[in-house]
Structures are given as C-alpha cells and as structure tokens.
Amino acid sequence: MPKIYFSHSYDKLKYENGRLCLSAKLIEAIPVNLQDLSGEFLDYDTEGLFPLPKSGRYILLLFFKRKGNIFSTLRP
C-alpha cells in the first residue's frame, strides 16, 4: 500500500500523551476545492507551516488512528 509522508510532526498526528502516531488507516478521500474550505480548517490542516494556494482542486484525506481519533490532510 502507498505511504503518505508528513514533513512536520503536526499536532494532529500526536496522541493526547504527546506520542506521534506512526500509522493510520485511510477511511475517506474527498475531492475538494480549496476556495470552498474555511480559513479555520486550512489553519488546522497546515498549522500555518505549509502555505497553500488560494484555490485549486485537492483531495481531503481522512485517517483513523487508534483510540478513535480522526485527522485529515489535504493533498493536490
């Protein structure tokens, strides 16, 4: 199965105890237009570390990590 890599240890990848999630299961892939997403969501997704264009077609990937936590990432 293909792997998805993250260039930063984003908070969304960590558990409550601060440990980094090392694997997760992809549960959904949703085509989106960046211009349709809220600024708050984009800030959550990138933590302000990775600038995104103002518009464009991306895929919103939703992942499940153990303990019932879900996180997302946007990919072109």
Model pTM score: 0.83
Task: Read off the pLDDT of residues 20-69 as tens digits, 9 standing for 90 and up.
Answer: 777 888 999 999 999 999 999 999 999 888 889 999 999 999 999 877 78
Q: Rounded CA gap, 49 and 10, in Å?
A: 9
